[in-house]
Amino acid sequence: MRIQRLDPLVAQRIAAGEVIERPASVVRELVDNALDAGSSEIIVSLEEGGLREIQVIDNGTGIQSDDLPLLCESHATSKVRELDDLYHITSMGFRGEALYSIAAVSRITIQSSYRGERAHQITVDNGVRGEVEAGGPPLGTIVTVENLFAELPARRQFLKRPATEATMARQLLIQKALAFPSISFRFIQDGKLRLHLEPNCARGRVIDVLALNQPIVEGEMVELSDTNDRFSLYAVASKPSLFRSDRSHIKIYVNGRPVDEYSLVQAVTYGYGEQLPGGSFPYCYLFITVDPTLVDFNIHPTKREVKLRNKAEIHHQVVEMIKGQVKRAIPRLVPQPSPYQEGELFTPAAASHVRSKAPAYTPERQSSQPIDPQWFEKAREILGENKGTSVRTYDEMAWMQQETGEEIKYLGQAFNLFLIAEKGDELYLVDQHAAHERLIFDQVRTKAISQNLLVPLTFEVERDVCDYLKVNIDVYLNLGIKIEEKEDLLWQLVAIPALYKSVEEEVVSFIKENTGDVAEVEKGLWAIVACHSAIRQGDTIEGHLAMDLLQKVFALDEPVCPHGRTFVVRLTKGELIKAVGR
């Protein structure tokens, strides 16, 4: 086929598809414009999930009438004048693509009053521009988008139900609101007010947002801050006593924008370290303010991605801030008298009574709501000090020193999670995943024999990482990882221990982003290997492998995983006999 120039409308709609995917995309772009206009109040209204109408109202400075005809033109913007401006971006919008893209796939009407002057308006219907006319609000701007994708029915087929699309738009507005706590935000869905966030301080705004979906104890949330020459950090984060089973409430903002940056999410988890149980994650809303010359948002149409020239430095500072400012929680156990008197019959009915009082705890609840910091105390109070079987962890025993002469007898696996072993007159339950994680961690910390890679892996690093590696190359060499500088900013991975043979690429990614101390490097490398290699809950283990794992566990000084959790439970023969009343 011959090459031909695309019809302008086709080209416009192709470009629009990169920026406007659904109603929430429209909300994102219009709210960014409202923020850039210096608004103190922003209202977003949707009808039929935004397909029928999206309206954004603000009380900002407004738009001059002479500028209205340019609003929906390609790459027309008031925020960038020349190429160098792209490296000093301080506004939320800058490309001049948003209104142009929206106008290509909908009917958009913009009404505005510039600083309280006489208002004017203009309508662009699927790329066809109307005339500027008088009329509009007395202050600020009203943008109304109607019949989104009406002339692109194929695009509508990819959208979800109106209620779901509205929920996505509401969530996006909440994301924006978190970075601008001094601004009032309202969200109206089909004529009903669904969200109203009053102006607040930064910590108050985070708590207001969390309270929309779950009960939050304000005292469990703390403020963290740190500064550097070219960036500053501020976070609203949970104490170690409040945590979740997923990372969904670790949010990263860079210069007011929510961004997807896994390495900084990772930095937050590293900062908490062993203060949280294995598989648990904090609440943390991290706001990073960086010198605009070190930031590039011009890499993706939705601006969800960012390039940071000093990312490794920020990563390290985040870890140190959290590690130094989040105080370790001290658990309290308050023994209470048993609800049953000694000698009282513990019947099924009584057992049911205890269960009915016990706090409900399911994986679903853990993932959607914060864990009650006092859950263990409440369970202890309800169940009391049962006079029957007592379960002890290594804190209450001398571990294995006095029993080294006894043989280990592997009995089997329970729930594809616990290894069951007998040793002398005692029975042991071993969490297979936590135990294997500990053994892997010990391997990572031991200088292993390096094996040369057949083909070295070459990788490019940022300037701050390059400077760090030149000074601290021994940090990796002491762990058996050999790297060499090939040329300025270009390094190569030359040799690694056998432990890392299947995760070379992940090791390289870690090196490219890390400028931490030895402990941080050890922890990061352990996380990489453990993620790919550790035996998991649900894995079936062959007998000889289970036996090998148990022997290594019993050789440890303390059965504690890298998260600080004990993974062995012991019951004596005498306790079991007493429990069944023999």
Q: Locate 121 and state its tokens.
A: 């308006």
Mean pLDDT, residues 157-176: 92
Residues in the chain: 582
Q: State whether 573 and 471 are in the same domain.
A: yes
- The residue out of 387, 403, 423 marking a domain boundary is 387
Q: How far is CA 76 from CA 10, 30, 67, 266, 402, in A?
A: 19, 15, 10, 38, 79
Instruction: Answer with the residue of higher pLDDT: 502 or 62.
Output: 62
Calpha distance 476→331 (Å, rounded): 36
Q: State whether 69 and 168 are in the same domain.
A: yes
Calpha distance 451→305 (Å, rounded): 36
What mean pLDDT is reported for the chain? 80
Calpha distance 485→462 (Å, rounded): 13
Instruction: Answer with the residue of higher pLDDT: 297 or 268.
Output: 268
Strongest mean pLDDT among 21-30, 85-94, 275-284, 472-481: 21-30
Under a CB-based contact definition with an 8 Å cutoff, are residues 34 and 44 in contact? no
3-state secondary structure (DSSP) of residue 12: helix
Calpha distance 436→535 (Å, rounded): 6
Under a CB-based contact definition with an 8 Å cutoff, are residues 106 and 155 in contact? no
- Whose tokens are 């993620």? That residue is 531
Instruction: Answer with the residue of higher pLDDT: 144 or 164.
Output: 144
Alpha helices in 72-147 (DSSP H): 98-104
Model confidence at 186: pLDDT above 90: yes
Model confidence at 26: pLDDT above 80: yes
Calpha distance 492→486 (Å, rounded): 7
Q: State whether 400 and 544 are in the same domain.
A: yes
- Whose tokens are 């135990």? That residue is 435
Model confidence at 38: pLDDT above 60: yes
Calpha distance 526→533 (Å, rounded): 10
End-to-end CA, the chain: 90
Lowest mean pLDDT segment, chosen from 306-320, 462-476, 515-529: 515-529
Q: State whether 304 and 189 are in the same domain.
A: no
Which pLDDT band holds residue 78 (cuts at 50, 70, 90)?
Answer: low
Mean pLDDT, residues 174-181: 96
Residue 324: its H or E element: helix 311-325
Q: Locate 125 and state its tokens.
A: 């219907």
Q: Is residue 496 part of a domain?
A: yes
- The residue out of 287, 307, 323 marking a domain boundary is 323
Angle, to 10 degrees, between the axis of helix 504-513 and the axis of helix 463-477?
A: 120
- Say how many domains are in the chain: 4
Model confidence at 160: pLDDT above 60: yes
The DSSP annotation for 333-396 comes to ------SS-TT----HHHHHHHHHHSPP--HHHHHHSPPPTTHHHHHHHHH---SS---B-GGG
Q: Is residue 476 part of a domain?
A: yes
Q: State whether 459 and 576 are in the same domain.
A: yes
Lowest mean pLDDT segment, chosen from 18-22, 90-94, 363-367, 578-582: 363-367
Give the contacts of 152 (CB within 8 A, at least 6 positions apart).
Answer: 13, 105
Under a CB-based contact definition with an 8 Å cutoff, are residues 382 and 361 in contact? no
The DSSP annotation for 424-458 comes to TTEEEEEEHHHHHHHHHHHHHHS-PPEEEEEEEEE
* pLDDT for the residue numbered 75: 59
Model confidence at 348: pLDDT above 50: no
Q: Within 10 A of 243 (CB to CB), how many other CB atoms are there?
A: 22
Which pLDDT band holds residue 342 (cuts at 50, 70, 90)?
Answer: very low
Q: Locate 569 and state its tokens.
A: 């439970």
Lowest mean pLDDT segment, chosen from 42-56, 147-161, 280-294, 363-377: 363-377
pLDDT digits (tens, 9 = 90+) for 365-375: 333 344 444 43
pLDDT digits (tens, 9 = 90+) for 236-281: 999 988 888 788 999 999 999 899 888 899 999 999 987 887 678 8
Q: Is residue 534 part of a domain?
A: yes
Residue 193: its H or E element: strand 192-197
Calpha distance 374→361 (Å, rounded): 13
pLDDT digits (tens, 9 = 90+) for 101-112: 898 899 999 999
Amino acid identity, position 519: A
Nearest to 103 by CA among 166, 148, 51: 148
Phi then psi for residue 479, to 5 deg, are -100, 10
Look at strands 120-125 and 133-134 and give their pairing: antiparallel
Instruction: Answer with the residue of higher pLDDT: 130 or 6.
Output: 130
Look at strands 41-47 and 53-58 and give their pairing: antiparallel
Model confidence at 349: pLDDT above 50: no
Q: State whether 281 and 424 are in the same domain.
A: no
Q: State whether 64 and 168 are in the same domain.
A: yes
Calpha distance 475→540 (Å, rounded): 36
Lowest mean pLDDT segment, chosen from 93-102, 162-171, 332-341: 332-341
Q: How far is CA 122 from CA 138, 143, 144, 335, 541, in A?
A: 16, 10, 11, 72, 69
Model confidence at 334: pLDDT above 50: no
Q: State whether 161 and 229 are in the same domain.
A: no
Which pLDDT band holds residue 301 (cuts at 50, 70, 90)?
Answer: low
Mean pLDDT, residues 28-38: 93
Angle (nearest 5°) at CA 312 between 311 and 314 = 65
Calpha distance 272→237 (Å, rounded): 10
Strongest mean pLDDT among 86-95, 348-357, 396-405, 470-479: 470-479
Mean pLDDT, residues 306-312: 85
Phi then psi for residue 328, to 5 deg, are -65, 130
Angle (nearest 5°) at CA 360 between 352 and 375 = 110
- The residue out of 323, 351, 379 marking a domain boundary is 323
Nearest to 323 by CA among 275, 361, 287, 286: 275
Q: State whether 365 and 393 are in the same domain.
A: no
Residue 232: its H or E element: strand 231-238
Domain that holds residue 281: 202-323
Q: Is residue 3 part of a domain?
A: no
CATH code of the domain containing 258 = 3.30.230.10
Q: State whether 236 and 188 are in the same domain.
A: no
Amino acid identity, position 473: I
CATH code of the domain containing 479 = 3.30.1540.20
Model confidence at 74: pLDDT above 70: no
* pLDDT for the residue numbered 51: 94
Which pLDDT band holds residue 181 (cuts at 50, 70, 90)?
Answer: very high
Model confidence at 400: pLDDT above 50: no
Q: Is residue 1 part of a domain?
A: no
pLDDT digits (tens, 9 = 90+) for 403-459: 445 788 898 998 888 999 998 888 899 988 888 888 887 877 776 788 999 999 999
CATH code of the domain containing 45 = 3.30.565.10
Q: State whether 381 and 509 are in the same domain.
A: no
Q: State whether 43 and 73 are in the same domain.
A: yes
Instruction: Answer with the residue of higher pLDDT: 348 or 511.
Output: 511
